[in-house]
Structure 1
Amino acid sequence: MELRNISTFLKVAGTQNISKAADQLGYSQSAVTVQIRQLEKELGTQLFERIGKRITLTERGVEFTTYANEIMKLTNQALTFANAEREMEGTLRIGGVESVSTAILPEIIHCFHKQYPKIKFVLKSGTTEELMEMARQNEIDLLYTLDRKICKSEWKCAAEKEDKIVFVTCYRQEKNHHRMVPIEELIQKPFILTEMGAAYQYELERLLAGYGLEVIPILETGNTDTIIQLLKQGMGYSFLPEFTVKDALEQKTLQQVYTNLPQVVMYSQLFYHHSKWVTPQMQKFTELVAAR
């Protein structure tokens, strides 16, 4: 059984596209097809179903990804054990939702870079759904989301943390910092919200709908840093992940606004696709995130 064929199998499984896999591997499409057929012949089972231009894993193919990943992991360890003292090199491609990309990833990447300065980073942003599709197409190695808790066999969760979403405003805006503001009163304030696509905004809209209410923002932007700066200048109120405003709350440039709406909780989760071969740099990065 050739390692090249197993590597090609994992690439096709990740992209679900012969053409894309061939481009990423630097092979012709016919070469990729031959390698897959050789592997299927050796294993005595069909690994992919081919319907038109789409290619998907069979049940046996899904099962084989576990073995293929383990084979490639052990192969990589065998190839690198003699160079254990050498600095880790390579590329790490990470995708994150906007709030995570601006408030969490910079510190983690900085810490990682200090330990492994020869690792090159490629960062991409998008919604959870967009990032998942990028991972399926093998355009990113890891995706860092802030969403409802995701538990699906397609994804391996490497790290998870519960995060509160809170109402905030300029520190001097509310004189009584601990006053419970009725939600009916709060939504009459000028709001600056994230653009559609953030899971926590969908959850806010769902909760408000249960009260027969709706918030109409004076501004929508996908950049949480912009929202925070406008709030500090007294422009209005917002609904943001607590980790994005943690420093501002501690420095008393922003304050939390308490209301009778149920507490919204999301989960920041670091995933990789179940068919993805976990590289050493992926492993070290997930360990760093899990420790935060």
Structure 2
Amino acid sequence: MEVRQLNTLIRAAQFQSFSKAAESLGYSQSAVTVQIKALEEELGVRLFDRMGKRVILTAQGQCFLEYANSILDTIHNARRALSEDAELEGCLHIGTLESLCFFRLPGLMHQFRVEHPKVSLRVTTGSPEELIEKMERGQVDLICILDEPRYSNSWHKCNEIPEEVVFAASPDIDLGHPGPYRVAELLDKPFFLTERNANYRRTFDRFLASRQIELTPSLEISDTSFIIKMLERSSGISLLPRFAVAEPASRGDLRILEVSDFRLTMYRQMFYHKDKCCTREMDAFIQLASGPDLPLL
């Protein structure tokens, strides 16, 4: 019995597909089939039922999966104990949103690089759904998203930190009075919004729909930094995380509006898949991101 066979078993059970398991591990499909067959012959039981293109764990396979996870955890902990004092020098692949990458991640990444200069870092951006899919497929180590609270029995949630989402406007916008405002008072102004169905935009659309209000944005784009530039240079309103607009607002380049009838909190959340061994590099990043001195992610 080999460690690679156990990894292959876990990945095949996760995807319910030998071909997808092979893709995620960098193997050919035939290699996955050979490894699983060898494992079944050694154990003397059938681990998977083949149902068309899907493979489903048998009762014996489900039982053995628990042992496989336990064995790999024990091996990982043993390696970790032996190398606890060694300098980190592995790889770390993080998936995150564009807004978090641009406004939150640089300070955290800088500090991580100072503490662990030999670690090779890679960052991939995408929507929450895209990042979750990458995590499920084993294509990233950790994901950091901004969304309503997410849960799954397949994930380890490392943290959940509230983030206020606010209305931001051009500094010279004329709204008739200094506020606070109601949403209805803002709707005759140009709105620059993130794309439909994107986390906080989705919640705002639900709010408008509940009041039978239709809003056609003047601009829709996923790039938060572009929206901020548009607000700074032309009269308009947007709905953005406070962390993204706090600095330009402090300079007077943007104005944060107080709105009485719509308040929104999203949550920065960090996850990794339960079938993913938490490497020392991952653990160091999680500890840094969750520490009181660097509340960045």
The equivalent residue for 2:6 is 6
Give the conservation status (yes or no) of the 8 Å contact 2:24–2:139. no
Give the conservation status (yes or no) of the 8 Å contact 1:160–1:290. no
Indicate whether 1:110 and 2:110 are aligned. Answer: yes
C-alpha displacement of 1:280: 1.4
C-alpha displacement of 1:172: 3.5
C-alpha displacement of 1:176: 8.4
C-alpha displacement of 1:158: 0.8
Return closer, same or farther for 1:113/1:208 CA change in 2, 3 Å cut-off: same
Matched residue type, 1:164: E
SS at match of 1:267: strand
> Aligned equivalents of 1:11 and 1:165: distance in 2?
38
Return closer, same or farther for 1:77/1:60 CA change in 2, 3 Å cut-off: same
> Aligned equivalents of 2:109 and 2:289: distance in 1?
10
SS at match of 1:181: coil
After TM superposition, the structure 1 = structure 2 runs for residues 29-178 of structure 1, keeping only pairs within 5 Å, are 29-39=29-39, 48-55=48-55, 67-173=67-173
C-alpha displacement of 1:196: 2.4
> Aligned equivalents of 1:34 and 1:284: distance in 2?
36
The equivalent residue for 2:224 is 224
Structure 2 gaps of 5+ residues are: none
Matched residue type, 2:278: V
> Aligned equivalents of 1:58 and 1:248: distance in 2?
58
The equivalent residue for 1:284 is 284
> Aligned equivalents of 1:59 and 1:254: distance in 2?
60
C-alpha displacement of 1:159: 1.3
Return closer, same or farther for 1:272/1:84 CA change in 2, 3 Å cut-off: closer
Return closer, same or farther for 1:259/1:65 CA change in 2, 3 Å cut-off: farther
For the aligned residue pairs, the C-alpha RMSD in angstroms reads 2.8
Cα displacement string for residues 96-136 of structure 1 (whole angstroms, at most 9, x for unaligned residues): 12222222222222211111112222222221111111111
Return closer, same or farther for 1:161/1:31 CA change in 2, 3 Å cut-off: same
Matched residue type, 1:145: I
The equivalent residue for 2:18 is 18
Q: TM-score, normalised by structure 1?
A: 0.87
Aligned residue pairs: how many? Answer: 292
The equivalent residue for 1:244 is 244
The equivalent residue for 1:207 is 207
C-alpha displacement of 1:220: 1.4
C-alpha displacement of 1:41: 6.0
Return closer, same or farther for 1:29/1:144 CA change in 2, 3 Å cut-off: same
C-alpha displacement of 1:256: 1.2
The equivalent residue for 1:275 is 275
> Aligned equivalents of 1:196 and 1:233: distance in 2?
23
User: Which deviates further from its counterpart, 63-72 or 2-11?
Assistant: 63-72
Cα displacement string for residues 56-90 of structure 1 (whole angstroms, at most 9, x for unaligned residues): 55677667666544433432343354444432122
Give the conservation status (yes or no) of the 8 Å contact 1:193–1:221. yes
Give the conservation status (yes or no) of the 8 Å contact 1:157–1:272. yes
Matched residue type, 2:290: A
Cα displacement string for residues 220-253 of structure 1 (whole angstroms, at most 9, x for unaligned residues): 1111111112212243110001121122233332
Return closer, same or farther for 1:123/1:197 CA change in 2, 3 Å cut-off: farther
Return closer, same or farther for 1:23/1:175 CA change in 2, 3 Å cut-off: closer
Identity of aligned residues (%): 37
> Aligned equivalents of 1:213 and 1:256: distance in 2?
23
Matched residue type, 2:184: E
User: Which deviates further from its counterpart, 23-32 or 234-243?
Assistant: 23-32
